[in-house]
Structure 1
């Protein structure tokens, strides 16, 4: 009897999760079809951040806060190495992308995935869209600082 109850509960949870994903994809179809890739700046991304001044020195306290947030919100899908988990690994991200791009992607992933050819290629590999974690601008800045620390900035 307990096994039946567990299986029924898992089945309901699986069904609910799969239906939620379908609803989200259907609701985003209009947004994706309206996206204009010609207006997209691949060096800055899509979002409100035009210029993020990170400075030469790492803010260690900010990086520590960023690691706490990343461990909670990001580590279930991303490793901090170059190894892929669900999403790509983070090693080298802060060297490859400008701070504006990273913060725009953290806070505004859906429009960027819809427009950025590199992100679309990653989506074909990973098969899972990065969810919007609804992180604040401050959270995104702290995660960016952690990414810089992860890439070896002292």
Structure 2
């Protein structure tokens, strides 16, 4: 495939995966006050937890196969058009080893609340410079997000 086709395909994925915007929504640049608030929030950002409602995610010592299967189904609908299960980049980074690099609460917060984390997490910002596409908020339920985390654990060899 040539690069132009891949660029068009990537754009199509972003459009297909993105949320529908409401008519009349304000898309202007943030005000100075909003930018200052974001900057101060970034200084209090916890890179091990991320930003969102998950403070502590308890994982079993062994894999929950049923939950991993549900997560695989959810990932097939919401995630695998942009992510491979290997370490190879597609539109977004590959998932191999993600549960070894990130805490469970960080993963859960990122997949359910990506926007503030993209704005504040220096490692995510560096990844964005490589991938060039912001991860859209997929509107995952808590159960789907937890299943996807278990599927990621399965992918990383947890038995």
Scaled by the length of structure 1, the TM-score of the pair is 0.81
Report what 2:136 is aligned to: 131
Structure possessing the higher radius of gyration over alpha carbons? 1
Which structure shows the bigger proportion of residues in helix conformation? 1
Q: How many residues align?
A: 135
Q: Identify the range of structure 1 (75-84 vs 23-32) with the bigger mean alpha-carbon deviation.
A: 23-32
Match of 2:90 among 85, 91, 111: 85
Report what 1:26 is aligned to: 27
Distance 1:115 1:55 in 2: 30
Distance 2:113 2:136 in 1: 9
Match of 1:49 among 50, 54, 64: 54
Name the SS of the counterpart of 2:27 in structure 1.
helix
Distance 1:147 1:122 in 2: 19
Deviation at 1:28, TM superposition (A): 7.5
Deviation at 1:39, TM superposition (A): 1.1
**Deviations for 1:41-89, whole angstroms, at most 9, x for unmatched residues?**
0000000000000121100000000000001100000000000000000
**Deviations for 1:6-64, whole angstroms, at most 9, x for unmatched residues?**
xxxxxxxx8xx6xx6xx989368469723221110000000000000012110000000
Scaled by the length of structure 2, the TM-score of the pair is 0.79
Report what 1:69 is aligned to: 74
Q: Identify the range of structure 1 (31-40 vs 42-51) with the bigger mean alpha-carbon deviation.
A: 31-40
**Deviations for 1:64-123, whole angstroms, at most 9, x for unmatched residues?**
000000011000000000000000000000111000000000100000000000000000
Name the SS of the counterpart of 2:99 in structure 1.
helix
CA RMSD of aligned residues (A): 2.3
Report what 2:126 is aligned to: 121
